Structure formats: structure tokens, C-alpha cells
Amino acid sequence: MSEYFDVCVIGAGVVGCAAARELSKYDLTICVLEKEEDVCSGTSKANSGIVHAGHDAKPGTMKARMNLRGNALIKELSKTLDFHFRQNGSMVLCFDENDLPALEELYERGVANGVEGLKIVSGDEAREMESALSDKVVASLVSPAGGIVCPFGMTVAFAENAAENGAKFRFLTEVTGIEKTDEGYKIETDRGKIAAKYVVNAAGVYADRFHNMVSDRKIHITPRKGEYVLLDREVGGLTDHTIFQLPGKYGKGVLVTPTVHGNLLTGPTAVDIDDKEDTSTTADGTSSVKERASLSVPSVPYGKTITGFSGLRAHEDGGDFIIGEAEGAKGFFDCAGIESPGLTSAPAIGEYISELIARASGAKKKENFVSERRGIPEVAKLPPEERAKLIKENPAYGRIVCRCEEISEGEIVDAIRRVPGAVSLDGIKRRVRQGMGRCQAGFCTPLAMEILARELGIPMEKVTKNRPGSEQITG
Ligand SMILES: Cc1cc2nc3c(=O)[nH]c(=O)nc-3n(C[C@H](O)[C@H](O)[C@H](O)COP(=O)(O)OP(=O)(O)OC[C@H]3O[C@@H](n4cnc5c(N)ncnc54)[C@H](O)[C@@H]3O)c2cc1C
């Protein structure tokens, strides 16, 4: 017999986790199925981390609506759920007088979408705000509502809070088929069958696959690759705002931005590909990022590069987010085509989907919903007395494992013991930043492996970087 849940969420990216958290406010049994070993293993782990102000999407679209609501929610949730967010503001640069009408159009679009505080400044005013900007900048759209967020921190926070409120997470569980039944849906996985009254399709670049299994109105998602170059924290202060480029004769443009953890990020490219798993980086991609980012900020010190990475946008042919009950598939709710600004929009998408399901099911809000969650203490950033107190209570917080980011054994143990907790080196990295620094885990990996092996009760040969098959040592 199949296990039964009221709602089954496919995919534990930021959208699936946000939906699970919102659904867990209701009297519903919830299960999240994820093919990888952890949350935040798809596109949610590889993006710009920008909380968009909301001037890009066309007024009236789902993208515009979710972006605006998500921007407001993230600000609030970063406090309630304790993840890193900073409202640093953003600037869209214009390099050519002929493109000024396009900049003004962006301004008007933002106003129509309800973005507050937008203004256009001259090139000189822009350089006064950000001294590293190029002399070629002729004007800029400034948006104080723009921000930056930790994509891992936000996704993990949604997942932990959903789990605390009863949602069950099943990792390394790949959905292989979905069938409509009289009661709802039968979901086939490589670990057995699950029955659910409602399905939330939050499968990222694979969302078209599941949608098309149940609806006659077919959709199509193209993976659109974006490559990045990430620089050391030493140069993270080169700009304070997120610096975008106005799409124009130089192409779609790349950004230069500080991250919430103080690094400098440049990218992404935009190339349509066929392979939904291809997150490789390329020499061409890296050169293109460098060349185009230096149009905005000529002095980006690429000698301070620490790594490159890429992510895949889930671009649906129609160009907008597809959110809601799929045509001809009662009880099957899509969160499909969630490309940028999907990270920004995730809490709003979760809220919207859960309201639709609550209405369809008649589920009531729980009285005992726990709305708050505290993150793992960042020991190195604590005031000295608090740090000393914590180390006295638990000496593991005093044993530094990752020297670049100053991450202690205690924080790594916390990352593993949380629910859902880290079961791989990447899982630890995304939760507490061990290995995220200048040496990119070159020195601390063996120690982190020892801690994982000890905590999970497995031999060192079984410790993986991410999914099974990524073991680090043999014999
Ligand atoms: C280059 C780039 C830059 C971006 N920059 C920004 C930005 O700055 N700001 C912003 O707001 N947005 C940005 N985005 C968009 C944002 O990252 C995404 O919209 C968001 O992460 C999508 O989340 P998701 O949960 O829908 O998808 P994902 O994170 O991909 O999650 C889907 C999950 O489903 C799982 N899954 C798939 N198939 C199955 C299956 N068969 N069984 C079980 N599980 C399955 C996957 O493993 C994955 O974990 C960017 C995207 C890219 C690629």
C-alpha cells in the first residue's frame, strides 16, 4: 500500500521549501520529495542572490506580482527565520545616451509595478554613489528596494521551519511518474509509491516533465545557463549596491554585486542548452563575464577570483511564471518556469500556492504553528563574551575547522544535527560556509569528512561531496 500525504511537494529548492513552510501553517500532512541528497541542490544553489526590486517584469504578469510580494516578505522573513539579507539597493547602468528612453521605460515599469523610491540619476551622480563605476556611465536607475540574500540560508531556513511544523523530507527519492486517481495522485518514485490528494510541482528545470504527465496543455522549459566568477572577501567592498546593466547594444548585461557574506560576484551569462544537468563552467563563459562586468566596473580585480560556478534558469516558452492548478489536472499545482526573479519570489509563490490548496481542501490554520526559527550561531562573529560563554558550554565551538571562514567544529556538528541536516560536504558548506572561502575547502575537507563520518556513523569511504557516487576516498 502507498504511503499517504495530503500534499506532496516535488523538489526541495527554494520554491518547494517555501511552499512546504507555508503549507505547514495548515492542518495538512506534507511530504517533500527530492532526488538529490539535500535541500537547495538545484538552481537555488547557483544564482546571483539578488532580491530584485521589481522593475524588470511587465506589469500584470505573475513575475511582477510575485517579485513585489516576495521582496517585501524576504525582508520580514529574514528576521523571523534568521537568514542573511541586506537591502543594499541596486543601480541599472546606462552607457549610451541613445538608450536613455529604455532606462526611463524601466523606471515607468517599476512605478507601474509598485516599486517605491525609484529615481534616475546622471552618470556623475552615479559615480558619486559608487566610485568604482566606469566613466562611460551616462545615467542610472537607482532602486533602494533592491537587496541581497543568502540563497542557501533562506532555503534551509524554510526547510527547517517546515520540518519543525511537521513536513517530512525524503531525499535521494526521484519522482519517476505521476498518475491521476479518484482520490488524487499516485506518485511513483525510485523508492516506492506515494499517494497524495494534492501535488505541488516545484521541480525546477524538470517541472515541464511532471506538468506534461497530467495536463493536456503542454509546457516546455529550456535550461538557460548562467556562469559566474566569484571573488575573495578582500575585494567584496568594491561596490555597495548591486550594479546591473541596461540591456542594450552590449547584450543582456551582467551584474557586479557584493554578496551577503562579503564576497564580490560577477556574472551571469545567458546561454540556452539542452542538458538539464549541465552546470559546467567554460573558458568562454568566464571571459565573457570578465569582459562585460568591466564595462560597469573596470577595476574588478580578477586576480582575487576564488571560484567559478553556473546555474540553470528554468525558462518556459511563454516567458512568465506558471503558478496554479494545471489545466485538466484538479489538485495538481504548478510552480513552473520559475526563472529569475524566482529566488525573490519564492516566499510569495509559497504563500500563493498554499492559499490555493487551503481553499481547495478546506484546511484550517494550525493553532500551534511555530513561526520562528533560529540559525546556527556564527561563532566567529559573536561579541567576545558571548563567544567565550558558548565555547565554555561546548568546547567544539572553539575548535576552528575552516580557517578561511573561521568555522568551528561545533557549527559543523549543528549543521549535521539540524532537521533536515547536512549529510554531505556540500550540505555542510551551504549551511555554515565551511569550505566557501579563499582555499575552497583545500585544507579543511579531511576534518569535515571526519566529523561527518563520526556524526553519521559511516566509514570515511562513504562520505560524499553531494549525491552517492561523489565519495572522496577509496580503499
Ligand atoms: C544564473 C541564474 C541567476 C539567477 N539570479 C537570481 C537572482 O539574483 N534573484 C532571483 O530572484 N532569482 C534568480 N535566479 C532564479 C532563481 O535562482 C530560481 O528561480 C530559483 O532558484 C528556482 O527555485 P526552484 O525551487 O524552482 O528550483 P530548484 O532550486 O532547481 O529546485 C528544484 C528541485 O527539484 C528537484 N527535482 C527535479 N526533478 C526531480 C525529480 N524527478 N524527483 C525529485 N526531485 C526532483 C531538483 O533536484 C531540485 O532540487 C537565477 C537563476 C539563475 C540560473
How far, in Å, from the CA of 42 to the mean position of ligand 1? 5
User: Is residue 326 helix, strand or coil?
Assistant: coil
Mean pLDDT along residues 260-277 = 97
Residue 49, φ and ψ in degrees, nearest 5: 70, 25
Percent of the chain at pLDDT exceeding 90: 96
Which of 132, 140, 155 lies closest to 47, judged by CA?
A: 155
**Each residue of 33-63: pLDDT tens digit?**
999 999 999 999 999 999 999 999 999 999 9
Interatomic CA distance for residues 277 and 274, integer angstroms:
9
Candidate of 39, 45, 47 to mutate for ligand 1, largest count of ligand atoms within 8 Å of Cβ: 47
Average pLDDT over the chain, rounded to an integer:
97
What atom of ligand 1 comes closest to residue 310's alpha carbon? Answer: 1
Cα of 376 from ligand 1 centre, angstroms:
24
Does residue 326 surpass a pLDDT of 60? Answer: yes
Closest CA to 449 of 405, 412, 420, 411: 412
Ligand 1 is surrounded, with C-beta below 6 A, by 10-16, 33-36, 41-44, 47-50, 52, 174-175, 202-204, 206, 226, 268, 311-313, 338-344
Give the ligand 1 atom nearest the CA of 335: 26
CA atoms within 13 A on the CB side of 49: 33
What separation in Å is there between the alpha carbon of 93 and the centre of ligand 1? 27
- The catalytic residue positions are 52
The whole-angstrom separation of Cα 391 and Cα 48 is 35
Nearest CA to ligand 1 atom 9: 50
The per-residue pLDDT for range 164-190, each reduced to its tens digit, is 999 999 999 999 999 999 999 999 999
Q: What would the grid cell of residue 28 be?
A: 495538512
Q: How many CA atoms lie within 13 A of 95 on its CB side?
A: 21
Nearest CA to 187 out of 408, 33, 79, 412 is that of 33
CA 377 to chain centroid, in Å, comes to: 21
**C-alpha 348 – ligand 1 centre gap (Å):** 15
Tell me the pLDDT tens digit for each residue of 398-446.
Answer: 999 999 999 999 999 999 999 999 999 999 999 999 999 988 888 899 9
- Cell reading at 49: 542572490
Q: Which atom of ligand 1 is least distant from the CA of 16? A: 25
Predicted confidence at residue 442, as pLDDT, reads: 87
